[in-house]
Amino acid sequence: MTDQETNRKTQSSDPGRASLRYAPQSGASATRSSSAAIAAGLDYLLQHVAEWDCSGKADAWMGCCVLARLGELPEHSISSLLREKVEAALGNLLRMRAACGHNDTDAEFLGRTIIALRAGGQAPPEDLLHALWRCRQTDGGFALFPQDWSGSAPEITVTAVHALRTMDRPAEDFLAGCMQRGESQLSSWLSVCAGILDWEKGLAPLPLLNQACRLIVRVRPQSAFEHALLLRCLVRLRLQQAWISAAELRGMQMENGSWPGPAPRRPAARELSFNPDQQNVIATVTAVSALALCESQPGLYFGSDLPRPRRLYES
């Protein structure tokens, strides 16, 4: 059995357990630097562009997730070929939105579309913003649709706030109440906390940031995707645990440059089933963006992927 197959078995033996761990890679992926891991991950995404290019055969929701993360990367890390694919996907997304309209589109997709367009340097159409605002509920949160019996959801609300670039007291109270009630399921709140920390500077109220911090330090990630989200949070908070988290995330990378799923389920009325390649695309672009975020703040890690010198521990 290969190391890669062993790694997959370790992940899939009991996916519901909070104690899930990944088998360490013994091949080249175990010793890759962050820059090499990012390059390998981007190469994997380029090989699987048909999964996320927002064309008729690709899932547009997943395309928005990929485009938003790729838009966070520094320009020097994006090859000319990948840049061409990104620009083509953005064009496909705009054409698809113009053709389909927004009547049957859920708030999660609307929000991610707006974020993806802005990440690609495109101004989102005003009707897209208005359609998202219509999903605001009386409790301050956002639901999938304007009149949705299931009510507001924290994941959708965090995405909507990010997309609309606005925050008010009712939204704050809604999210704070949900986070307080949801502390028993910590891992499920990683995406919410990461989303809050991804908001523009000054948008998140201090009490909400403090509440997110308390949740983050207690989380034990259960997948490569969640581990990447945790790393984003640690870097945003400038915590030195980020170095350990980044090293562990690099060790989870597979030999083909991808990070293994499972990917997050789409929180929408029409659930999608992802094949393994699609799952890896979401996990991979999230891991790549998290490692790139680390690379943009080398002061946290003393400018190196190596452990801190002994003298720094002994001083």
pTM: 0.82
Taking residue 72's Cβ as centre, other Cβ atoms within 10 Å add up to 16
CA distance 50 to 48: 5
Residue 315 domain flag: no
- Would you state the pLDDT for residue 19? 31
Residue 98 domain flag: yes
Residue 77 domain flag: yes
**One-letter amino acid of 101:** G
User: What is residue 167's three-state secondary structure?
Assistant: coil
Cβ atoms of residues 142 and 153 within 8 Å: yes
In terms of Cβ atoms closer than 10 Å to its own Cβ (0-12, 13-18, 19+), residue 57 is exposed
Give the Å distances, CA to CA, from 305 to 129, 147, 291: 41, 49, 11
- Would you state the pLDDT for residue 23? 40
* Domain count within the chain: 1
- Would you state the pLDDT for residue 279? 80
Range of the domain at 274: 31-307
Residue 149 domain flag: yes
Which CATH number belongs to the domain containing residue 242 in this structure? 1.50.10.20
- Would you state the pLDDT for residue 253? 96
- Please, what are the averages of pLDDT over each run of 10 residues along the chain (315 residues)? 41 34 46 90 96 84 94 94 96 83 77 95 92 95 89 94 96 93 69 94 94 88 92 91 93 95 56 66 96 81 43 38
Question: Integer distance in angstroms from the first to the last C-alpha of the chain?
Answer: 45
Structure tokens at 132: 């998202």
User: What is residue 142's three-state secondary structure?
Assistant: strand
- Would you state the pLDDT for residue 164? 97
- Would you state the pLDDT for residue 103? 58
- Would you state the pLDDT for residue 274? 60
Which residue shows structure tokens 């070929």?
81
Which residue shows structure tokens 């910590």?
186
Residue 293 domain flag: yes
Residue 16 domain flag: no
Residue 144 domain flag: yes
DSSP letters for 243-295 = HHHHHHHHHT--TTS----PPPPP-SSS-----HHHHHHHHHHHHHHHHHHHH
Residue 278 domain flag: yes
